[in-house]
Amino acid sequence: LCGDLQMQVPFPFSLLCFQVIKCKAAVLWEANKPFSIEEVEVAPPKAHEVRIKIVATGICRSDDHVVTGAIVTSLPIILGHEAAGVVESVGQGVTSVKPGDKVIPLFIPQCGECNSCLSTKGNLCIKNDLCSGTALMPDGTTRFTCKGKAIHHFAGTSTFSEYTVVHESAVAKIDSAAPLEKVCLIGCGFSTGYGAAVQTAKVEPGSTCAIFGLGGVGLSVVMGCKAAGASRIIGIDINSDKFAKAKELGATDCVNPKDFKKPVHEVLTEMTGHGVDYSFEVIGRTETMTAALACCEYNYGVSVIVGVPPAAQNITFDPMLLFTGRTWKGSIFGGWKSKDSVPKLVADYMKKKFVLDPLITHTLPFTKINEGFDLLRTGK
């Protein structure tokens, strides 16, 4: 999940409540092909659903995983899951938001009723579409059509559209003064990285941390480690151009594995003398996941998988890495309970408790979404 690039989506506010809205959307008809800007029909919200006018959306690596086939889902589809917008209309029974409210769609919903929602230990609501993979609304249907064909949803959000429909459990009302072109990053990239450090790993003051991958999410992990009081924060990336921004946000050291002949986990162990207290894999590659585990302190180190794993790949590793006491864990959306936490994170941003501007590298009009993905793929 990247979140270091955003798209502006300018268009007029619609008053066509409970009518079909025609608008622009970026449709992916086939894998490994560019997005096609199409006119789509967006159906009105059904009971407990919300139709949103999207104002700004981020481009994330997870969206690109669908394009490349690393994430397998049904096509054609409207991707996008990191956004902010304004409620246009609501279906029967919706009580948490109303037309005109500023909101952030939630790719991890919060129904408040399932085991994860009721537990203090988890946040992966059973109503998420990442695990079920239906690419449809919870009732098994779609709200999008284009050229007479049904178009699938992505992660229950589909924000690469001027209008989208989400379930009420997948939308959070936020501060009416919040700048949507900034706080859209709280819908995924920032929250995922920052939360992995402060919420999942629970980084402690004075600790040492290593972050594999310095995209938008990795930089957010850096910010989280700094906020938690880590004394040494080591950023790892094969693109040295990312080091300056990483240091600006709190990294104390930066390492390019290409500069060394030995494995990077050995480099990090030598740098720290015993391995790091906490490591984070924010790329989504199996070899860096095992390297991140191996660079942890052998007895009490904690390694967190943040990057989305590629489909149909397994990890082979030496079980002694875990037997000696290391902890290996995963983190989705930073461990935050989405509907509860997103408004609080926006409030913290408004209070200047953290910054978002450095995570935004480019701002493009919606119609240049393919150029945005090119920038993402080239590490820019």
How far apart (Å, rounded) are the C-alpha atoms in residues 220 and 200? 14
How far apart (Å, rounded) are the C-alpha atoms in residues 62 and 79? 9
Is the Cβ–Cβ distance between 8 and 79 less than 8 Å? no
Tell me, yes or no, if 62 is annotated catalytic.
yes
Q: Which residue of the set 2, 23, 60, 225 is catalytic? A: 60
- C-alpha closest to that of 45 among 167, 132, 150, 196: 167
Tell me, yes or no, if 81 is annotated catalytic.
yes
Task: Taking each helix axis as running N to C, give the angle between helix 264-272 and helix 286-294, from 0 to 180 degrees, rounded to the nearest 10.
Answer: 20
- C-alpha closest to that of 66 among 143, 154, 189: 154
How far apart (Å, rounded) are the C-alpha atoms in residues 111 and 297? 38
- How crowded is residue 350: how many other Cβ atoms within 10 Å of its Cβ? 15
- C-alpha closest to that of 356 among 179, 206, 91, 229: 179
Q: What is the DSSP letter of 12?
A: P
* 249's tokens: 């946000």
Indicate if the alpha-carbon torsion angle 137, 142, 143, 144 is positive or negative: positive
Residue with structure tokens 């585990």? 293
Q: Which residue of the set 23, 111, 184, 188 is catalytic? A: 188
Is the Cβ–Cβ distance between 241 and 379 less than 8 Å? yes
Q: Which residue of the set 2, 23, 65, 152 is catalytic? A: 65
Q: Are strands 253-255 and 36-42 parallel, antiparallel or unpaired?
A: unpaired
- C-alpha closest to that of 258 among 235, 228, 282, 237: 237
Q: Which residue of the set 81, 152, 153, 265 is catalytic? A: 81
Q: Give phi and psi for 323, each to the nearest 5.
A: -55, -35
Tell me, yes or no, if 65 is annotated catalytic.
yes
How remote is the C-alpha of 168 from its chain's centroid? 19
How far apart (Å, rounded) are the C-alpha atoms in residues 63 and 197? 23
Is the Cβ–Cβ distance between 311 and 103 less than 8 Å? no
Is the Cβ–Cβ distance between 162 and 53 less than 8 Å? yes
Q: What is the DSSP letter of 48?
A: T
Tell me, yes or no, if 60 is annotated catalytic.
yes
Q: Euclidean distance between the first and final Cα of the chain, in Å?
A: 15
Catalytic residues: 60, 62, 65, 81, 188
